[in-house]
Amino acid sequence: MTQASDPKITDVQAESQARRAAFMARKSPLDDVRLKLDAYEATIESLDVSKRQELHELTVSVFWPHRADDLDLFLSLGQGYLALDEIGRPLGSAMYFNMGEDFAMFGMMVTMPRLQALGAGQRLLRRIMRDCDGRDLRLSATRSGYRLYETAGFIPVATIWQQQGIVRPFQVPDAVPGLAVREIEADDLQRIKALDCHAYGADRGRILDRLMGVSSGLVVEREGEVRGYAVMRKFGKGVVIGPVVAEDDAVAMHLVAPLIQRCEGIFVRLDTPQQSEHFKAFLAAAGMGVHDTVTEMRIGPSRRAQTGALLYGLASHSLG
């Protein structure tokens, strides 16, 4: 039975659409400009690089590790909104990152902990959902945000495993016959974009152009053809490895192992949507144990590839 003909799939999609419509119908005429939160009278403003300090205050309030450079990267790639109280203190944020013509990733959705039950997150989510009307949507839901996104019509897809730690010496996996790993070259970019589009399920070429400017990485070849890639960059407490695209566990480990080795003694993070215990155990052996999980959720079809090139590492929770 195909996915399209499975009545269970149809029922799930219909329920998602109904929840989304009900959530959006709660919009108030004042949603876009002003909201009342407890004793706070707040305004909603467009989010850009001039609001980086306020956005950083929000991330600190929920113990996210983002540096100024990390926030500047997101602000250069996406759009969004910031809720501020009457004296300019940040109360919440929400961003979206368009990928191609029909898809958007939601991220940087933060609400001050003391205000999480008072409606700021709902207002900001409705605002970016309206901006992205007609696009398929995806996000990474924390435990505190899961119920809100479910109410808005998002469907859970998979668990994202946040694996991180100080890298230690580890046993490098055996080489895979027929595969060659080398540094990324400028001529590889178009092939990397094609592989990524298949694995990710949307065209994020614009995002990759920006990431490649702040990353270093490797490609894996078979018979002279690029079959996967992995990059790393400075992020948060140290380094993040991702995106990572590979055909299977063996190829992914073959790609990632040299990058991890370069970071011995450094804090490294890799967020993987793969449910493979083998791959997660490999990361843990290098000092990158499971720190936390989030739930990937969607509105629209499940786009991520199930065969061929697969996504083994996220660029970030906000970029997928």
What is the tens place of the pLDDT at every residue in 152-169?
Answer: 999 999 999 999 999 999
Per-residue confidence (pLDDT) for residue 175, from 0 to 100: 86
β-partners of residue 127 are: none
Q: What is the pLDDT of residue 41?
A: 74
Give first-to-last CA distance, the chain, whole Å: 29
Look at residue 179 in the predicted model and tell me its pLDDT.
93
pLDDT at 246: 97
CA distances from 168 to 114, 172, 201, 272, 301 (A): 38, 12, 34, 20, 40
Integer Cα distance of 281 and 262 in angstroms: 19
Q: Do residues 80 and 94 lie in contact, with contact meaning Cβ atoms separated by under 8 Å?
A: yes
Q: Is the dihedral of CA 75, 81, 83, 88 positive or negative?
A: positive
pTM of the model: 0.88
Confidence label for 35 from pLDDT (cuts 50, 70 and 90)? low
Helix (H) or strand (E) holding 57: helix 52-61
Fold topology of 7-157: Aminopeptidase (3.40.630)
User: Cα(37)–Cα(112) distance, rounded to whole angstroms?
Assistant: 11
Q: Per the structure block, which two tokens stand in for 170?
A: 């580890």
pLDDT at 12: 87
Instruction: Say yes or no: do domains 7-157 and 161-313 share a fold.
Output: yes
Q: What is the dihedral of CA 245, 251, 257, 262, to 10 degrees?
A: -50
- Over 50: is that where the pLDDT of 136 sits? yes
Asked whether 180 and 220 are in contact (CB, 8 A), the reply is yes
Strand 136-141 and strand 34-37: the pairing is unpaired
Give the other-Cβ count within 10 Å of 201's Cβ: 21
**Rounded mean pLDDT of 130-157?**
96
Query: 161-313, what's its fold?
Result: Aminopeptidase (3.40.630)
pLDDT tens by residue, 299-308: 999 899 999 9
| R_g over Cα of the chain | 20
Given this model, what pLDDT does residue 31 score? 61
Average pLDDT of span 194-223: 96
Which residue's structure tokens are 């493979």?
276
Q: Is the pLDDT of residue 109 over 80?
A: yes
Tell me the average pLDDT across 251-275: 97
- pLDDT by residue (tens digit) across 8-23? 667 888 899 999 999 9
Q: Please check the confidence at residue 133 and state whether its pLDDT lies above 60.
A: yes
Sketch the domain layout of the chain as residue ranges.
Answer: 7-157, 161-313
Q: Where are the alpha helices (DSSP H) in 120-267?
A: 120-131, 143-151, 189-200, 205-212, 249-261
